[in-house]
Every structure is written in structure tokens, then in C-alpha cells.
Structure 1
Amino acid sequence: MTVEVQTPSGPKSGSAVQEHVVWRPRLIPLPGAGGSDWGGGHQTFGEAPFVDLGNGEVLFATLRDVRYNYDREINTIVFRALHIDELRGKRPNAGDASILDDLARARPLNVLDRKYYPQLATFTDMANPKSLVEVSPDNLAARFGQGTTLSKITFQVVDPGTPLTAAVTARFPALAAERGLLTLPPS
């Protein structure tokens, strides 16, 4: 996942390699199935990408929505970014594994539709993990200053052996103890 931001000093980007693991036989529900009926399950490993905007400002694309909104969870976002539903529609007789195998071979790069953006956040003080605040993808300038806009978020399938990104705790030691536990204050 790559996040690209336009700043007054030029474009900046940040990426993270994540692993999305299917732990049930069906990744994609059959027509008419819903919720746990379809027997699918998945889990994400890895960290959220961040963009160093300069002057101590950092933008994070979160992996989980503070409101537990299924549409803004990273797994749902990835499936939409990679157009899983559209692939399924073109090949109704193909098994889920076949679709995933094709994606792994093709290594597509897809721009995420704005309506599926993950929740974005920053810290008002990078040394204080409790200072996490949400940032609107439509108005980065409100938090980061005039001329700062979100350009796009892209997803690309990489080789299965590609190492997961591990830069957050090395770059931001104050966040190490909070890893996986950071939450936004209730809005």
C-alpha cells in the first residue's frame, strides 16, 4: 500500500508491505451469503504506511477504522483495491484460489477509489502516542498547511517472499510500546 501526498515542497509518499492471510477455504462469499455464513476469514499482518511530510509532520493510513466500520477495515479495502468482485464476475466458475493465483502472477497496481480510503491519522506530538488525531483525506491542509493534499492511495500485489515493512517502531520509538494498541479518542 502506497500513500502519495502533494506538499508545497513537492510530492511525498510512504509505503508498507502487508500480508493478508486467508484462514478459511472461502475468501469471497457466494451470492446471497452474508456475515459469518460464508465461512471466510482473513487477517492482516504488517504495519500501516506513513508519509513523512517534513517539519516533524507524519501522516498514517490506518489499518482499522476507529468506528469498526467493515467498509474501512484494511482487508475490505484491499479486496476492493484489487477488484476482487469484478474478477469474480468475469469468471463465475473460477475458484477463489484461482483468482488469487492470477493476482499473484499479474502483480496489479490499482489506484483506490476515494470512497474506499482508509482512515488517516497523525500525532499532534510524535513522542506522545496518546496524541493521535484523525485527519480528513479531503482536507489535509487543515492539519498540515496550505498546499498539502492527498494525491492517491495505491495497492500492488508483491511476491509472497517480500518482507513485511518494519519501520514504524524504529523511526518512532515512543510508539513501540503502543504498537497495535493505538486508538483515536471518541469523536
Structure 2
Amino acid sequence: MVGIAVTGCDTLIGAKYRYRLTVEVETPEGMRTGSTVVEVKQWEAPAFPNPEAGGLRSSFRGEAVAVDLPGGQTLFVLLNTATTIAEYAYQPLVIGIKGPIERANAIKNTKLIAEVPIVGLTTEQASGQYRMSEASRYPIFVRFKDIRDRMTIKRVDPANLSAAFGQGISLRRMTVQITRDPISTDMTKRLPWLKTMRPGSFSEKNVRSFPLGLIDIVDTASFSTEIPR
């Protein structure tokens, strides 16, 4: 489980919920899809032993999305923005409800499991639909030149997948929805070397050869919090 501080006013207190993030990619061989289930928990920490220790906290469990593409290639959509993505999942359920505790209860008691487009071909924001409009809030997209070697990781531009994977490959859309499905736990089948790594830094001793754009961003929890130890 990864814990982080929460900023912003649109928060939930005492909420624990799961969402499914689905990524759809257009290819010359047809649509390719991958999805993952992530669990998010928010709580209010006590201001002890000092005021700085208090405030809203958030944690998540789950795994990155993996999309199998033509030619044996795989696109990974990482967990780094898991709590940001979660906002798109619960927003339609709390419209008009004030107060973080009340919003948390609304999610807990809801029977609505709605698919919400967060980025895709449509540009309008219809009632109950939320779309990512800021590229800075997108998840991190990566690939491996050699999936057996973590040091071959490369960041991928979601607006230009063809540059990394070949002509005719593009992001169609990402959707998110509240779900009660189990948390995803299959990433070590794709990346068995995750089980041999210490939690934390992806680069470890090979800092000089690790891509500079990812060295302070990617760690084992970017791919999975469910690695058997």
C-alpha cells in the first residue's frame, strides 16, 4: 500500500473504494484493450506529535495497466497518478453532495457503477462525464525496449503512441468506473523481475544508465503494490 498526502478541497474522509481504469488503443490489427482495478483509501490523520503531521492522507493498492500491442509490444500505464484518476471515478456519484464524510458515504452506499470517459475522442463534458483536459494530469505511459530488462524503460507520449509503437497505433480513450471487482495482482507474471527488487527506486545501483526523465518518478510501486515478498 502506498500512502500520500492529499491536497485540494474535493476530498473524501473515511472512504475506501475501487475503480477500474480501462485503456483502449487503436492499432492496424484492431482495438487493443487493457484494464486494472485499484483500491483507494482516504482518512484524516491526527495532528500529532505536531500540527504538520495532521491532515488528509490517501493510499492506494493495485497495479499498472498493461495493453498488449502488435509485434509483441506492451504499453504500460503507471500507477503514479492513481488518486488523481480516482477523482474521475467518484465525481458522478457525489454531484450536489457537500462535505467529505457525506461524499464518502454516498460512494459506499451507491449502486451506480457508471463508466466515465476521462480522455478520448469526445471533447464535450456532458452531465456526469469527466474528461482529462490537462496533459499534466495524465497517467505516465511507458514501454520497455526489452521487457526482460527494466533498464530499457522509455517514457511514451500518449498523444503520439505511433512514435514508440509504429504507424497506425494511437490512444482511443481511457475510461474509469467504480467497481467491486478484486484488486489486480498479475503484474509479476509479465515482469517477474519485480519480485527480485527491493521496494522503491527502479534504478538502484545503475543510476547513470537510467533514463533521466524517469529516475525520480518511477519505482516498483508504479507498476504494482501487490508484489509477493
- Under a length normalisation based on structure 2, what TM-score does the superposition of the two structures give? 0.63
2:84 alignment partner AA? T
Q: 8 Å contact 1:14–1:50 — kept in the other structure? A: yes
State how far apart, in whole Å, the 1-side matches of 2:177 and 2:95 are: 21
Q: 176-185 vs 9-18, which deviates more?
A: 176-185
Report the aligned-residue RMSD.
2.5
* 2:170 is equivalent to residue 163 of structure 1: no
State how far apart, in whole Å, the 1-side matches of 2:138 and 2:54 are: 25
- Aligned to 1:40, what secondary structure does the other structure show? strand
Q: Which has the larger radius of gyration?
A: 2
- CA positional deviation for 1:131: 1.2
- Aligned to 1:90, what secondary structure does the other structure show? coil
- Aligned to 1:41, what secondary structure does the other structure show? strand
- CA positional deviation for 1:17: 1.0
Percent identity, aligned pairs only, is 30
State how far apart, in whole Å, the 1-side matches of 2:107 and 2:211 are: 37
* 2:30 is equivalent to residue 10 of structure 1: yes
Which segments of 5 or more consecutive residues in structure 1 lack a partner in the other structure?
26-35, 65-72
Q: Deviations over 1:123-173 (max 9, x none)?
A: 1110101111110000000000110000111111111xx221122111232
Pick one of 144, 151, 164 that aligns with 1:130. Answer: 151
Q: 8 Å contact 2:90–2:178 — kept in the other structure? A: no
State the number of aligned residues: 164
- Aligned to 2:108, what secondary structure does the other structure show? helix
Quote the residue 2:140 is aligned against. 119
Of Structure 1 and Structure 2, the greater helix share is in 1
1:168 alignment partner AA? M
State how far apart, in whole Å, the 2-side matches of 1:82 and 1:10 are: 27
Q: Deviations over 1:16-46 (max 9, x none)?
A: 1111112338xxxxxxxxxx79822111101
State how far apart, in whole Å, the 2-side matches of 1:181 and 1:57 are: 24
Which segments of 5 or more consecutive residues in structure 2 lack a partner in the other structure?
1-20, 46-51, 119-130, 204-209, 214-229
Query: Mapping of 1:10-159 within 5 angstroms?
Result: 10-24=30-44, 39-64=55-80, 73-79=81-87, 81-82=88-89, 84=91, 90-92=96-98, 95-102=102-109, 104-112=110-118, 113-114=131-132, 115=134, 116-159=137-180
Q: 54-63 vs 93-102, which deviates more?
A: 93-102
